[in-house]
């Protein structure tokens, strides 16, 4: 379908990404990845950027008199440019660019740590996948009044399954107050949800 191809082209990564990223094939089929695929890819991306930073530090020539901020920003810029090839915006990148390459030391360090953390990538990849998947679903008519309003069926099914997993998780824990009284965590969660639903309806 021509319209679907236009959507795919919109999310297609550039030539630099095709050359630099070893996991480019997985990124190219991001809308089709399931929960475990996303987790596996997140670990690959975090490892790749960690390894890239280590190799960069070994190769780059930095003056001995350079302070910690200069060294950190040099590494941050290199890793952020690699991360940007994946189609996501690195942490603090907009601020870094608007300040013409300047960034507070703590933010640069935090940004580096996030880009080398699988959990940060897992969240980003899921967000990117959901956006692309919904865009494609809308294009082929899966999101409409006659089919499924607001979201595609696949997104709705995944959301329902996530809620089930959350409920099973909560059932494993209890809350204990200062007096030693114990209550099941899932009961507190259910009460909280019921209260919000009641408030929304009134």
Q: What is the pLDDT of residue 62?
A: 79
Residue 16, pLDDT > 70, answer yes
Please determine, for residue 176, whether its predicted confidence score (pLDDT) is greater than 80: no
Close Cβ partners of 166 (under 8 Å, ≥ 6 residues apart) = none
Question: Which pair of structure tokens corresponds to residue 43?
Answer: 């670990």
Residue 194, pLDDT above cutoff 60: no
Q: What is the arithmetic mean of pLDDT over 90-112?
A: 95
Which pLDDT belongs to residue 131? 85
CA distances from 101 to 98, 104, 105, 144, 193 (A): 8, 10, 12, 45, 45
pLDDT category at 169 given cuts 50, 70, 90 is low
Distance CA 174, CA 171 (A): 8
Percent helix, strand and coil across the chain, each rounded to 5? 70, 5, 30
CB under 8 A, 24+ apart: contacts of 119-123: 119/42, 120/46, 120/91, 121/41, 121/42, 121/43, 121/45, 121/46, 122/38, 122/39, 122/42
> Measuring CA to CA, which residue among 114, 133, 151 is closest to residue 38?
133
More reliable by pLDDT, 131 or 102 = 102
What pLDDT does residue 198 have?
A: 38
Q: Where are the domains of the chain?
A: 2-121
- Whether 77 has a pLDDT exceeding 70, the answer reads yes
Round to whole Å and give the CA distance between 122 and 78: 21
pLDDT value, residue 65: 80
Share of the chain above pLDDT 90, in %: 43
Instruction: Please state the φ and ψ torsions of residue 13, each to the nearest 5 degrees.
Output: -75, 155
């Amino acid at each position: 379908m021509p319209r679907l191809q236009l959507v795919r082209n919109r999310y297609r990564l550039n030539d630099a990404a095709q050359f630099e990223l070893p996991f480019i094939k997985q990124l190219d089929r991001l809308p089709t990845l399931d929960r475990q695929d996303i987790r596996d890819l997140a670990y690959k991306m975090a490892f790749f950027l960690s390894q890239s930073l280590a190799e960069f530090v070994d190769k780059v020539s930095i003056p001995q008199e350079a302070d910690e901020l200069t060294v950190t920003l040099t590494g941050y810029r290199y890793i952020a440019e690699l991360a940007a090839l994946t189609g996501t915006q690195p942490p603090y990148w907009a601020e870094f660019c608007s300040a013409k390459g300047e960034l507070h030391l703590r933010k640069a360090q935090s940004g580096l740590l996030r880009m080398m953390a699988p959990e940060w990538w897992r969240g980003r990849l899921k967000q990117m996948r959901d956006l692309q998947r919904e865009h494609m679903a809308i294009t082929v008519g899966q999101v409409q009044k006659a089919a499924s309003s607001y979201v595609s069926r696949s997104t709705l099914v995944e959301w329902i399954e996530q809620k089930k997993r959350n409920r099973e998780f909560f059932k494993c824990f209890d809350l204990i107050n200062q007096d030693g009284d114990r209550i099941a965590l899932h009961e507190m969660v259910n009460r909280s949800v019921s209260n919000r639903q009641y408030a929304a309806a009134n």
